[in-house]
Amino acid sequence: MSVAPHHPVAVEVGKHVRAARKRYNLTQRQLSELAELSDKTIRDIEHGTGSPSFAGVLHTLDVLGLDIGVN
């Protein structure tokens, strides 16, 4: 099951990923190398678009020291 493009949760996660990446002064390419994902996948995560794997999103969050909560 894929998430609709620009789903509010995907967009919110993307905002946090982008902010953390910038806080660590990383380019999307550098983050993609650290997370072992493509540049396009990082762009998709940051914009809340595409269909990145849940595991890829979680790994990216982990690389940036972020976690996700569910209520």
Residue 27: give its domain's CATH number: 1.10.260.40
Percent of the chain whose predicted confidence (pLDDT) is above 90 = 82
What CA–CA distance (Å, rounded) separates 61 from 50?
Answer: 17
Using DSSP's 3-state secondary structure scheme, residue 25 falls into: coil
In a domain, 21, yes or no: yes
Task: Indicate the pTM of the whole model.
Answer: 0.89
In a domain, 22, yes or no: yes
In a domain, 2, yes or no: no
pLDDT of residue 3: 55
Q: How many CB atoms lie within 10 A of CB 25?
A: 7
pLDDT tens column, 38-61: 999 999 999 999 899 999 999 999
Number of domains the chain is built from: 1
Name the band, by pLDDT with cuts 50, 70 and 90, for residue 5: low
In a domain, 24, yes or no: yes
